[in-house]
Amino acid sequence: MTTYLELIVHHGGKMDYSEEVPRYLNGKIEEVDMDLDYISYFQLQQLGVVHFEYARVERLWYMAPSHNLGNGLVEIRSDTE
């Protein structure tokens, strides 16, 4: 049985750290379902290139649902994260 994970993807904007709580500005927010068995660093990069039509993806970040922008962003550098 295939299990899908719903990702909420923020892209095309910038983080604003000028206030106490960081904010994501001027970007798009989209939901994407991905097969849990196939989520990897390279699949996430491919998602940015193919689905969102970027020439390349320079950096990836994730945030656990129980965290916020002020304390929960973690950079994804490999499949380990």
pLDDT at position 15: 87
Q: Contact at 8 Å (CB) between 69 and 40?
A: no
Task: Determine the average pLDDT of the residues in 59-70.
Answer: 85
Rounded Cα–Cα distance for residues 2 and 21 (Å):
37
Rounded Cα–Cα distance for residues 63 and 2 (Å):
23
Band of the pLDDT at 50, cuts 50, 70, 90?
Answer: very high
Identity of residue 3: T
Q: Contact at 8 Å (CB) between 56 and 49?
A: yes
Q: What digits encode the pLDDT tens for the residues 13-39?
A: 998 989 888 888 999 999 999 999 989
Q: What is the mean pLDDT of the chain?
A: 90
